Structure 1
Amino acid sequence: SNNETARGLGTHIRWLPLEDGLTEAQKNGRPVMVLIHKSTCRACMEFKPKVARSSEIARLSSGFVMINLADEEELLRDDFAPDGSYVPRILFLNPKGTVLLQVTNRIGNFPERYFYPNVDELVSSMVQVLNMYPLRC
Structure 2
Amino acid sequence: MHIFTSRSELPFAGHPTLGSAFALLKAGMVTPTNGRIVQECEGGPAEIEVRSFAPSCGVNEDPFCGSGNGAVAAYRLRGGDIGHGHAYAATQGARVGRNGLIQVRVPEGGLITIGGACAITVSGALRA
**TM-score for both structures, normalised by structure 2:** 0.26
- The structure whose residues are more often strand, as a share, is 2
Of Structure 1 and Structure 2, the greater helix share is in: 1
Higher relative contact order (Cα pairs below 8 Å, separated by 6+ residues): 1
Larger radius of gyration: 2
